[in-house]
Structure 1
Amino acid sequence: MKLLLLACLSPKTGNHTTAERIRSHIESAGHTCELRDAAAFKSPAEVANLISRRPPFEGALAIHLLRAGSLLLDVQVPFGVIFGGTDINEDVKVEQKRVVMEQVLLKARFAVAFTDKLKEEAELFLLSQSSKIYVQPQGIQTEVSEKFCWAEFLRSSEWHRENPLNVLVVIGPRIDPVFTVEVEAVVQKTAGVFLAQERSQRELHAAMKRCFTVVNSSVSEGMSAAILEAMDLGVPVCARDIPGNAAVVHHEFTGLLYSSPQEFVHQSQRLLSDHELRERVVRNGKLYVEEHHGLKRERETYQRLVDTLLLV
């Protein structure tokens, strides 16, 4: 079966990594899966034209109901969709966007949510399609590069010289130009906070291994792969207390949650001073990922769902 997989493919982002992993699951079952960036298409008509070319695609998948799924509304082949998080957490608040996502969900043969909470939200805000929404957490596999070096982050500052381990390093691509300018302006006048360019996944995992904790400060998440990767690598997680994070970070058991800057400082200090707490969240986080986020289960789920696209 020849499949088209549409997703937001900014290089070295979680979306790109997730899309590549799902593509590999599909191809391991003997299918052909062509991965395309949703941003490269201006309308559903362009995608419909691509799908009908010879040899035509026989089915399609989309990650994110609005950004990618909406591009499949004109196709004449069966397709499935995967909630991205932002679509359910944010886009449903805009009536025009919500209507489009309802159309996508109605036409899709199946939908995948990373968490039970995302499924519940989808059922609440979109037209009820409970029977076609499946829950499949992200599968995690970590690989560490042996060549990563922190030297570029060790810039001179009085605070850093007093305690060179006490720094916050923000690693990732500059996707939003306006937000990037705001962040850079704050970082320039804040001692001990450094920006770094995006890294390959193996280099990023190596960076995580050298950290005291991995921080997630997102205000909206579907399921953070970075959190799960940190747990798998044996690094404690300190994450903002939002539904997407709370679904995988159980406070004081698999990680720590915070709701304000002051609480973030408090929880971070606890990790520094309470060795028993640190050991507990590291141990439980690792076990949690092994039990709930294995690649085998994720692979089997997507292979089974893709098979439903073959049904007449």
Structure 2
Amino acid sequence: MKIILAAPNFPQPRGNTVTVRRIAAHLEKLGVQTEIVSTTEEVKPLPFGDLVHGFHAFYFYQFMQKLAERPDPYIVTMTGTDLNVDLFHPQKRGGVLSVLREAKAIHVFDEAAKTILLKEAPEFEYKVFPIAQGATGFPPSGLPLEKEAGTFLYVLPAGIRKVKNIPSAISALGKLHKKYPHLRLWLVGPVIEEAEAEIVLDLVERHSGWVCCIGELPHSEMGAVYQQADAVLNTSLSEGQPAAILEAMSYGLPVLVSNVQGNSGMVENGSTGYLYNDEQEFLDYAEQLINDDEARQRLGQRAKQYAAEQHSSIREAEALLKIYKSLLQ
């Protein structure tokens, strides 16, 4: 069996690239041949495969419109903005629903995502499959940058774009930094939107004494970042199921994340991390993480246990393979 995995912006270091590479690696362990293609580069005829698995419904829809011959069968994974934004966008909704309608199966990351989709398109119920993302492991690696001794390091792993709401993290932590001058923040991720990058990089320059923008890193080096972090942030306005937060949890790190669908599907407030609704809650939780070693360790241990039990990469691949086989019989 050969599966073509079609993802946007591949091989750029974004969430979809992390997801398809992880799935491909574990499908290969199960004896499945895979090939990854980008849906946002120059369109070429699809390579031969028994089935095409597209990631991000709207990008996949656009890709399909450019193909001389459309694949059949295909399935679609809804990864985040396609579910939470594009599905409700007047100019994009039709494309999203069109590509899902022709799909033989639709993969979402959790039951909450399934509920959102079926509220808008209940006719898809028979072919929607919630399968949790697997956690990605990392080989040992070094990092040119080292955390300063005696500091408390927050890491925010995200590509720089408006939906990630990075300026809010700098602004809020700036208030805490006045009280805790040993606080540090690393931003890790590529520039995706130039206009947002201007705002973020201006803030980084103004707070250069404690904020560092590392920029784009090979995904294999993220393990070295997590090893130095004390806590990991996600300030997104919208999420699917962020791989970076799942990776941080698998490292036993406490996470402080915005209370949006995707984050809330992984993080149980006060148990496996903290969910915040506004800046004051963010500040309260962020300060607690700095001051309460016991709470930080407890959250990290529970997060690691949750990631191991609920986000097995091999179980993710096995569940997808079961769908592939059922469609090809």
- TM bracket (short chain): 0.7 to 0.9
1:176-255 equivalence runs, <5 A:
176-190=193-207, 191-255=209-273
Q: Is 1:145 aligned to residue 140 of structure 2?
A: yes
Q: 1: CA distance between counterparts of 2:181 and 2:12?
A: 31
The answer to whether the 8 A contact 1:102-1:127 is kept is no
Structure 1 position 242, deviation (Å) = 0.9
Structure 1 position 25, deviation (Å) = 3.1
SS in 1 for 2:123: coil
The answer to whether the 8 A contact 2:245-2:255 is kept is yes
Q: 1: CA distance between counterparts of 2:311 and 2:185?
A: 28
Which segment drifts farther, 3-12 or 117-126?
Answer: 3-12
1:123/1:219 CA distance change after superposition, 3 Å: same
The answer to whether the 8 A contact 2:18-2:243 is kept is no
Structure 1 position 165, deviation (Å) = 4.2
Q: 2: CA distance between counterparts of 1:214 and 1:187?
A: 18
Gaps of 5+ in 2: 150-175
SS in 1 for 2:138: coil
SS in 2 for 1:188: helix
Q: 2: CA distance between counterparts of 1:266 and 1:245?
A: 19
1:49-198 equivalence runs, <5 A:
50-51=45-46, 56-72=48-64, 75-126=70-121, 128-143=123-138, 145-151=140-146, 165-190=182-207, 191-198=209-216
273, 276, 288: which is aligned to 2:291? 273
Q: 2: CA distance between counterparts of 1:153 and 1:188?
A: 19
1:264 corresponds to which residue? 282
Q: Which one-letter code corresponds to 1:81 in the other structure?
A: V
1:164/1:199 CA distance change after superposition, 3 Å: farther
Deviating 4+ runs (over 4 angstroms): 151-154, 162-165
The answer to whether the 8 A contact 1:26-1:306 is kept is no
Q: 1: CA distance between counterparts of 2:26 and 2:75?
A: 15
The answer to whether the 8 A contact 2:60-2:99 is kept is no
1:143/1:248 CA distance change after superposition, 3 Å: same
Structure 1 position 28, deviation (Å) = 3.2
Q: Which one-letter code corresponds to 1:168 in the other structure?
A: L
- Once the two structures are superposed, residues 152-203 of structure 1 have per-residue CA deviations (whole angstroms, 9 ceiling, x without a partner) of 989xxxx99x977411110101111111111111211124211112222332
Percent of paired sites with the same residue: 28
Q: 1: CA distance between counterparts of 2:322 and 2:78?
A: 18
1:22/1:99 CA distance change after superposition, 3 Å: same
Structure 1 position 297, deviation (Å) = 1.0
- Once the two structures are superposed, residues 226-271 of structure 1 have per-residue CA deviations (whole angstroms, 9 ceiling, x without a partner) of 1111111111101111111111111110001112223212111111
The answer to whether the 8 A contact 1:101-1:126 is kept is no
Structure 1 position 102, deviation (Å) = 1.2
Instruction: State TM-score, norm by structure 2.
Output: 0.83
Which segment drifts farther, 56-65 or 85-94?
Answer: 56-65
300, 308, 321: which is aligned to 1:282? 300
Q: Is 1:30 aligned to residue 47 of structure 2?
A: no
Structure 1 position 275, deviation (Å) = 2.6
Which segment drifts farther, 171-180 or 197-206?
Answer: 197-206
1:10/1:32 CA distance change after superposition, 3 Å: closer
2:321 corresponds to which residue? 303
The answer to whether the 8 A contact 2:146-2:228 is kept is no
Gaps of 5+ in 1: none
SS in 1 for 2:49: coil
Q: Which one-letter code corresponds to 1:86 in the other structure?
A: T
Which segment drifts farther, 119-128 or 290-299?
Answer: 119-128
Structure 1 position 146, deviation (Å) = 4.0
Q: 2: CA distance between counterparts of 1:226 and 1:147?
A: 18
Q: 2: CA distance between counterparts of 1:17 and 1:164?
A: 34
RMSD: 2.4
